[in-house]
Each structure stands twice: as structure tokens, then as C-alpha cells.
Homo-oligomer: A and B are copies of this chain.
Amino acid sequence: MKIVRVNMTNLSVKTEEVPQKWANLGGRALTSAIVAQEVDPVCHPLGKKNKLVFAPGILSGTAAPNSGRMSVGAKSPLTGGIKESNSGGSAAQKLARLGIKALIIEGLPEQGKYYSLHLSKDEAKLQEETDLVGKGNYEVIDTLSRRHGKNIGVITIGQAGEYKMLAANISIKDYHGYIRSAGRGGLGAVMASKGLKYITLDDTGTPPVPIAEPEKFRQAAKTFAQALKEHPVTGQGLPTYGTNVLVNIINEAGGLPTQNFRRGRFAGANKISGETMYEYITTRKGKPTHNCHAGCVISCSQVYNDESGNFVTAGFEYETIWGFGAVCCVDDLDIIAQADRICDDIGIDTIETAVAIATAMEGGVLPFGDGQKMLAILEEIKKGTYLGRIIGCGASVTGKVFGVSRVAVVKDQAIPAYDPRAVKGQGVTYATTPMGADHTAGYAVTSNILNVGGHVGPLAKEGNIELSKNLQIATAGIDSAGLCVFVAFSMLDKPEAMDAVNQLLEAISGKEFTYDHMLGLGRFVLKTEIDFNRAAGLTEVSDRLPEFFEEEIPPHNTTWDFTPDELQQVFADLKEEVKSPPAEVWMAPEDEPRTRPTVELH
């Protein structure tokens, strides 16, 4: 496997051997290691010193179930800290099959110019792009699918990225042509700053990803798939209702942030729930169950049509539905689906954008509950009007511009769909993850609400520091393996699932891999990220929730009551320890040079 390095200043593409210390790594571990090593932590995120790194997971491109996640890393223009955002779609698998362990985009091109990068077995080609500049993601993907065939992999930015909005995401074509997103932290603005409109990935004719012990790998994959199918969450809940199964569950738990985090229950919850969505989808001949990458056995995605049966959106997630729904007090699922479609098309994070709109509602820009005006604002983002620019820069900037102090962010990143006062393990994750408020970084909803991996009460502090910490470490490992975070449901409840993942990692590398290695990998990732953030100027003060969470939230009337000292316990040991190179934790075998894109200079 190789590293492909694209320098946008001199428009060169080079391939490099993978240094030994990174040989084991993939996904988040690799993007964070590269960013930490190569990016000046105090640089301007949109300047020449930042780098954008794409890395398929360690297991990506193989037959391991749900291993199709690609990590994208950089210094975040939103949080000012390190960012890893991962996504499904076909890009991880294609990158891995092209033998690309990491793709590093660096430098800055001549201002205003855009380029495309085409990667195939035989070439790595950087070309100036003009036709698709200014176009939305759907048009980009449709055009490129026509140009290169339906199987082409696409990584692209929409208009939000081109405007360098802080909420701009990076969009990934899934293998049906729908859109998945590396959503958080404004990485689309970084890609735009590099002058890269899109990347096409053609894996035609590539050899399979090398596996040291193929038979062991095959057995483990089978066991793992079985365990995923047998778990009620990954085998029934998610396939049927998608992640939106959570609206009714979290609303019932009193943790569904409503009207800019004033209440934990939304009167319109049932109208936007997974159950209602399933009914709409089935009535309108959509698809309730759909997977974003080959080999996914959960299939939490879906195809959502309008009343006339026309396609509106896919990958219609709980977070999006909560965001444009409960937090903005909009209870019309079709309006929310429109919002999701627009966000996918312009390439902007739905969580950040929804909370920014709720912040604008707080500031009197539009009334809570006004779904039509909400859609109009999304169109303004697409056009890059002044209001669109404000909202497109996320909740923190929106709060500043409109003089609002009730702004739900941590490290300037919007807080997602679980109120930290009513789902306290989630709150600990929001406060302490180096990513800024991020639900996936340590998804304590598992034990707090779903009773997966045991039960830790969601309303009191007890046990939630430890819960979040353990989940954050495990998640950093899972994100590095390239596994979808939802595999954790099964791994937490079923020892055979946990064993199977370790077996998969052992079989691909031919080196011992145990649960301890997984934890070592997770700790390495977090240590790397925390150190970067500290060097970037983020302190313990950044590890806090906004002041207004001191207010009680109905119905449980709990408050956010963790002290800063308690929160600092989460990673106290990590912060103090000397970083052990992951090579000492888990050495991967040297692999043979495979695909070697030619060097091209333009």
C-alpha cells in the first residue's frame, strides 16, 4: 500500500512508501497521525499549511461486513482543532483496492482555480475543472457517473464548500449514486481551499486487498455478519426504521432537544418518527432498507420519496430529522426531507446547519416552527447570500452575528440530537471528545437509553465519565478499522462479535490482535488528537458545555452538573502518558508495493 501525495501549489502527484510507524494504521488512526505529524497546529485551517487527508479503514476494501468507512482528516476550520470525519459510500473500498492507504492533499493552488483528481490503477491525474464548478453534488455525481460509468467512486464538494463555509462537508457517492457525507467540522471548506472540486476513483482491474490469513478472515467475517444480524438494534431496528428509530425512543426518554434545547420532548415527535417515516416510505414506493456500501449487513439507509413517488433523499438520518425537526420545532417530515436533500446537494452538515437555524430562530431571524422559511434559508445558503453565508458558517458564528448567547456548541461545533442533561454520558462525550460536540465519538446512548452493553443511568452523573471514556477509546479503534460505528451495538453485547473484529484485524495483518490492542489503538488515536488540540491552543476550557445547560430541562428537570474537574478525569491518564507509537502496540507486516499511480506534473 502507498501514500498518494497531491501538492496543489505545484500541481504534482507523488506516491510514497508508507513509513513503518504508519504501516498498521488506517482510517481515523492514520488521518489523525498524519495531520498531527505534518500540520502546524496553529496554522490557518484554510491556508497553505493545512492538509486534507483521506484514509480508508484498515479493513476497508475487504469482505469484512460494514467495513466501508473512509476517514477524512485536517485541522478543522470550525473547531480550530484536529478533525476526523468519516463516511460510508464506496470511496473507502475503492481507495483500498487502489492500494492507497492515505491520500494527502497539501499546498494551495492559484486563487480561484479548481481542479479534479482522477485515480485509477494506472494513473493519478490532476486536471483543471471549470464545468462543474458552482454545481451541486447531485449534478456532479450524475455528470461523473455518465462520464465514467455508474461504478465510479466520487468524493466531492458542493456550493457550501466552494463558499468555504465552516459547516461545509465532503460528499461521497454511495454505490447506488446517492450521497453520504463526511459531515462535521467544515472539511468541505478545506477541500475548497485546496482548489479540489472532486476526486474520481476507478478501481477497475485492481487486485483484492491483501489478507495475511484468508481463511481465518473469511470465518471471522461470517461470524461477525451473523452477530450483527442477530442483534435487535442492527438486525431489526436500524434495517426497518433507519437511525430515525430513535425519534420516539429519545423523545420518550425526555432527551430530544426541542426549540433550541429548551425541552426534552417535542409535541410533533410522532409526526417525524421512524415509524411514520416507514409508513410514508412504504406507501410511496420508496425503500425502507438500503445500504450505503457493499458488504453492509445493517442497511440503515433508505430511499425517501415524495407523495408523488418521486425520489427526494436517501440516508435520511435521525440527526437530520431531529435537527430540522425538533430543535427548530418543525413537525413536517416532507419539509425535513427537502431540507436533507438540499443539504446533501449543496454539501453542508445537517446538524450544524439545523442548530444554526435554531440559533437564528432564537435571534428572531425567523420564527420557531416555520418550515418554509427554513427551506428558503437553505436556498440562500446555496446562493451564498449574506444570510446564507452566516448560517452556512454554523451555530457559533450565527450566534455571534445575531447577538445570541443561547448557542448549543462545544468547541464551536453544534451539539447533536441528545440533550446532555437527559443523556449524561452523551454530554460527557460532547464536552471531552477532541472533535467538538460529536455524538458518534462515544455513543453513550447505548448504555444510557438502549441498555446495550449494560445500563448506566442517563439522568445522574454516576458511571457516565467511565462510560464515555471507554466508548471514546473503543470508537477511536472502530473508526480506525473502517467499521461503521453501529457495529458497536453488537460488539458491546456479544463477545463473539468483539472476538470476530479482533480476528479480522489479526487475519488481515498476520499479527496478534486482541482487545488490548484495540484499546491501545484507540488510546493512541485520542492521545494524538488531544495533543494536537492542546498545541492548537484548545484548553480544558474548551471541554465544557455552554452556560445555558445550567437550566433545568423538562420533563426530567435535570441540569448539566458535571464540574470541570470531573470532566478532566475522562482523559487525565491519556494526557499525562507518553505517547507510545502504535507500531509498538501492533505491528503490521510489510506489504508488497501494489498499484503505483504514475507521477504526473501539470
Residues on A facing B (Cβ under 8 Å) = 41-47, 49, 77, 163-166, 189, 192-193, 385-387, 389-390, 393, 397, 400-403, 405, 535-542, 544, 546-548
Chain B residues within 8 Å of A535, by CB: 541
**Does the CB pair A193–B405 fall under 8 Å?**
yes
Contact, CB under 8 Å: B537 / A542: yes
What are 22 A-B contacts with C-beta separation under 8 Å?
A41-B541, A44-B548, A46-B405, A47-B405, A47-B547, A49-B547, A189-B403, A385-B386, A386-B386, A386-B390, A386-B401, A389-B390, A393-B400, A397-B397, A397-B401, A401-B401, A535-B541, A536-B541, A537-B538, A537-B539, A537-B540, A537-B541
Q: Which of A43, A47, A535, A541 has the most CB of B within 10 A?
A: A541
Closest Cβ of chain B: how far from A111's Cβ, in Å? 10
Q: Which B residue sits closest to A165, measured CB to CB?
A: B403
Instruction: Report the 10 A-B pairs with minimum CB-CB distance, sorted nearest first.
Output: A164-B403, A537-B541, A386-B386, A46-B405, A44-B405, A386-B387, A47-B405, A537-B539, A389-B401, A44-B547
Closest beta carbon of chain B to A74's beta carbon, Å? 14
Provide the residues of chain B in CB contact with A77, threshold 8 Å.
Answer: 400
Asked if residues A403 and B163 are in contact (CB atoms below 8 Å), the reply is yes
Question: When the two chains form the complex, which single residue of B43, B402, B540 contacts A389, counting CB atoms closer than 8 Å?
Answer: B402
Q: How far is the CA of A573 from the CA of B166 in the complex (A)?
A: 39
A40 CB to closest chain B CB, in angstroms?
Answer: 8
**Distance of A47 Cα from B407 Cα, bound (Å):** 11
Please give me the residue from chain B that is nearest to A162 by CB atom. Answer: B403
Nearest B-chain residue to A401, judged by Cβ: B389
Task: List the B side residues contacting A386 at CB < 8 Å.
Answer: 385-387, 390, 401
Question: Apart from A47-B405, A389-B390, what 17 extra A-B contacts exist at CB < 8 Å?
Answer: A42-B544, A42-B547, A44-B547, A45-B405, A47-B547, A47-B548, A49-B547, A164-B403, A165-B403, A192-B403, A385-B386, A386-B386, A386-B401, A389-B401, A397-B400, A535-B541, A537-B539
A364 to chain B, nearest CB (A): 9
- CB contact between A42 and one of B397, B403, B541 (< 8 Å): that residue: B541
> In the assembled complex, how far is the CB of residue A169 from the closest CB belonging to chain B, in whole angstroms?
15
Residues of B within 8 A of A47 (CB): 405, 547-548
Question: What's the least CB distance linking A112 to chain B, in Å?
Answer: 9
Rounded to whole Å, the gap between the CB of A431 and the closest CB of chain B is 12
Please name the residue on chain B nearest to A47 by beta carbon. Answer: B405
Query: For the complex, what is the distance from the CA of A301 to the CA of B365, rounded to whole Å?
Result: 40
Query: Which residues of B sit under 8 angstroms from A546, Cβ to Cβ?
Result: 44
